[in-house]
Amino acid sequence: MTLAQDLESLEQMRNRGALSEAEFAQAKDRLLHGTAPSPISKVSALNGLRRSSTDQWLGGVCGGLANFTGLDAWLWRLAFTLTLILAGTGLFVYLLMWILVPVEPLAHPHIAPSN
């Protein structure tokens, strides 16, 4: 990949919400200046997890996980459905995430999402 493609990829990840502003700045600095990355704790990485306000069927958990991990939301929906059918834990985990994970801020706060 070229430098321009790497920077464009970083910008897309930041716009999706997969990277926080601090993570974006660190990655951009590393690309431009070749500086070594500073370690990011697992807790601060999880702070980027948000429920989706646009890609949601129930609570936006699967859409948020899709933004956070880069996997498609339908894969997360399938995983939760299979765990619900097979062991019943999928519903419990989904409800916990629905309660505990905050909703992502709207890109345009004056425009309400249509459901």
- In contact, 44 and 63? CB cutoff 8 Å: no
DSSP secondary structure string, 22-76? Answer: HHHHHHHHHHHH-PPPPP--HHHHHTT--B-SSS-SSSSHHHHHHHHHSS-HHHH
pTM of the model: 0.49
The whole-number pLDDT of residue 71 equals 84
**Domains of the chain by residue range:** 3-46, 61-100
- In contact, 53 and 103? CB cutoff 8 Å: yes
Q: Which two tokens stand for residue 24?
A: 């974006």
104, burial (CB in 10 Å: exposed 0-12, middle 13-18, buried 19+): buried
> pLDDT, tens digit, for every residue of 72-93?
888 988 988 898 888 778 888 8
